[in-house]
Structure 1
């Protein structure tokens, strides 16, 4: 695989101080970005009846919102590079708010697609990308901890919004609820206000970082020892500043991309239809909404727990296997869902699904960085999100159209989603076995200036004075 260039910082991340206020802002911003589209599913049944549309047509609402959020990622990155995280997040909060307020006056389902899906989705994109980016400017040593806290915002806010949305609907109807949600989401502007730029005049602090334990890190560290390669990387054209198309020749990236494209066809649909599935079985609205809260509560604790396990010396050297297990676990979970009877069965499913979903979400970006290295991570995320727009957009509607509308049963949709998750999970296991085998062969070819501990698979510099600071 081609080596990844080292990342050069113009400042020393403070690893604390105001950075924790930034983490709190990212907690809110990331939380609304991921939780908001899921929480709106509470209104789906009523909106479907109001506009007299099919299951698949109402499912497009969340799909368009999620797809717009994914598609807007590269645009958000460019804006962050130009203006910084603070104004971009604040503009994003205003966009989501405006979309929800305009949607409250909607007269057709297309109106909701435009206001909630497109305007709201693009606003969420302007919230997500800057929040992920600014944490890396404030944290280096404690970055995994900071990211874990920020990513927990999604299940925490979903846990809060699910019952709140049911209460708002009962009190004000879906139109009044959308108007109130337009005001609540303005908290993203407050979160953006906390994201002040880091002090770039801070002199670097001499800190020794523990070596990373993956193939991409080996290549990255080797590139860091070659100043000439850094200079060559800095002289690349504008295209490579935003998107590195050479990643399509990268073995690990292609494995990740192919598996994820299939996986995302079945990734969001089970969450989107969870409350509707419960209502279809005759369960009352509050109990159906409570399933999302249970799911979010388990997810909330599973994400940091997964990060802790993934960072251990036993799992980190082969973390791609851990991700493969998490994806396969999701598939098995969905296949078993229709076999669990009654409300108790749905509660059990919500707990198991929360465990499985939290594992995948916690590892989703970590395994990508493990494969391509920190320098190329930004380009990799941009390419992945653009390509994943298709399955994110089409997954829930195809499930609703082909399976729920035709058969009148949700269980076939869950069977399909189980297959869409289990197949790429097995694919990841097989392909990463060969990828790790190839990486081990490449490591034995001897990286200049480094040695590999065969017992723990850790890359270490032969010169103990080499490189103080994380290569990422």
Structure 2
């Protein structure tokens, strides 16, 4: 768990400048990646009736899309490490637009699984992961704030897409709406064009000094030659590795903090997306009209939109940032409590209240989700880390909403689905809090041991130098 103020990138991130334009591009790219699958739930009831399918079958559309987005993480990581973020995001925008165009001609639910779910999901993967990675290359001190602002794109775009989708459906039907949505998704190509690579400013190395300082110059030349030799050895070693090992850092599976994060996230993702996916259908099930049901998503998105930058600001404070993993654990647990309370809130007013408290919890988790991973593994290993995390998380992301839909089909009531999602969120929240408590203690102990070893080594070096100095003095007198 590297300190907040250090970096292993080999250069000084600008922490501003063009980085804010990159944050805006990431805002759009991340926004479409997360908001698009949720906004499509507006069409679920009508598509369900059109193809005569069950709740669990229609839930697979969003599930396959989200799972493909997560499963495409390692592929996206390899492409970003090889080509950079800009071209990958632009290709992703074209893929999502093409997927929605093909889906508008769908003749079966399987057609939607393939087009919207598989092709569209991989396109969103090429939008999400590069946008997250490039922020870590531009920001160091202000990174939590930059991540919080970029992650705000999801609720902003969701709050726009939710009522827009209802309007498009009323005007053009679901087929015409999918065709228009495909053209809207091409804006991700514009976002990608903003993600130019960072100009790396490396601190200058000390020069050889003025004439007459031959000893210092020789020492500097020796150090430079040594660095060049180490670089050549590293290049030679990297050539002997497989392609996957060069682009994906599998040594992360030996990283204690990474494993804690991974275990907690695998469980929480079973209950993370389903409550949002089923929010509008739940409202319609209670006899609420379509526009009022869509308004719940807008309320949720507005609260989410507000809390994400606030969370980023809080995460950047001196009080929170050193122990930001506790903040994330609290956010996950809070989500679980919200889901458990949902069935107890009566009527439309209760659903509005749930949308507000859910927006707060969902926004906190989303704003911190990747910042805490970067805090654990460092910005230089983040691209590989997020690729490994997303491919493993695609399982619960894929299965979560269909399992929830199956509970609705089995009991004819949504409350059991919300209870299950509450448990799936509350349990990992407690797990993360406890494990990170021990992890912080272990890190403090390792740091004390490291300082002790350094002091002992320093003392031995001083004693050795004094011994050599005494021998030289005796020889001179002799």
TM over 0.5: yes
**Deviation for aligned residue 1:12:** 5.2
Mark the CA change 1:205 to 1:157 in structure 2 (over 3 Å): closer, same or farther: farther
What are the within-5 Å matches in structure 2 for residues 188-337 of structure 1?
A: 188-199=188-199, 204=203, 235-236=237-238, 237-238=241-242, 239-337=244-342
**Deviation for aligned residue 1:60:** 0.4
Q: Distance in 2 between matches of 1:89 and 1:448?
A: 47
Mark the CA change 1:205 to 1:188 in structure 2 (over 3 Å): closer, same or farther: farther
Residue of 439, 442, 465 corresponding to 1:438: 442
**Deviation for aligned residue 1:449:** 9.9
The corresponding residue for 1:28 is 28
**Deviation for aligned residue 1:316:** 2.2
**Deviation for aligned residue 1:137:** 3.3
Mark the CA change 1:437 to 1:17 in structure 2 (over 3 Å): closer, same or farther: closer
Q: Distance in 2 between matches of 1:448 and 1:353?
A: 47
The corresponding residue for 1:353 is 358
Mark the CA change 1:142 to 1:253 in structure 2 (over 3 Å): closer, same or farther: closer
SS at match of 1:431: helix
Deviations 1:215-268 (A, max 9, x none): xxxxxxxxxxxx89x968774535443222222222222211111111100010
Mark the CA change 1:24 to 1:389 in structure 2 (over 3 Å): closer, same or farther: same
Q: Distance in 1 between matches of 2:203 and 2:119?
A: 41
What are the within-5 Å matches in structure 2 for residues 30-49 of structure 1?
A: 30-49=30-49
What are the within-5 Å matches in structure 2 for residues 63-142 of structure 1?
A: 63-142=63-142
The corresponding residue for 1:400 is 405
Q: Distance in 1 between matches of 2:436 and 2:15?
A: 34
Q: Distance in 2 between matches of 1:58 and 1:384?
A: 26
| Partners of 1:2 and 1:250 within 8 A in 2 | no
The corresponding residue for 1:373 is 378
Mark the CA change 1:195 to 1:450 in structure 2 (over 3 Å): closer, same or farther: farther
| Partners of 1:12 and 1:205 within 8 A in 2 | no
**TM-score, normalising length: structure 1:** 0.85
Greater fraction helix: 2
Q: Distance in 1 between matches of 2:194 and 2:2?
A: 38
Deviations 1:299-325 (A, max 9, x none): 111111112222222222222221111
SS at match of 1:59: helix
Q: Distance in 2 between matches of 1:373 and 1:343?
A: 44
| Partners of 2:31 and 2:156 within 8 A in 1 | yes
Which runs of no fewer than 5 residues in structure 2 stay unpaired?
206-226, 456-478
**Deviation for aligned residue 1:142:** 3.7
- Aligned-pair RMSD on alpha carbons? 2.7
Aligned length: 428
Choose 314-323 or 234-243, whichever is displaced more: 234-243
Q: Distance in 1 between matches of 2:204 and 2:42?
A: 49
**Deviation for aligned residue 1:187:** 0.9
Q: Distance in 1 between matches of 2:32 and 2:128?
A: 9
1:7 has 2:8 as partner: yes
| Partners of 1:68 and 1:118 within 8 A in 2 | yes
Q: Distance in 1 between matches of 2:333 and 2:447?
A: 29
**Deviation for aligned residue 1:199:** 4.0
Q: Distance in 1 between matches of 2:138 and 2:377?
A: 22
**Deviation for aligned residue 1:194:** 2.3
SS at match of 1:347: helix
| Partners of 2:148 and 2:368 within 8 A in 1 | no
| Partners of 2:304 and 2:360 within 8 A in 1 | yes
Mark the CA change 1:197 to 1:317 in structure 2 (over 3 Å): closer, same or farther: closer
Mark the CA change 1:138 to 1:352 in structure 2 (over 3 Å): closer, same or farther: same
Mark the CA change 1:369 to 1:14 in structure 2 (over 3 Å): closer, same or farther: closer
| Partners of 2:93 and 2:188 within 8 A in 1 | yes
SS at match of 1:105: coil
| Partners of 2:144 and 2:313 within 8 A in 1 | no
The corresponding residue for 1:166 is 166
The corresponding residue for 1:340 is 345
Which runs of no fewer than 5 residues in structure 1 stay unpaired?
207-226, 452-472
Structure showing greater radius of gyration is 2
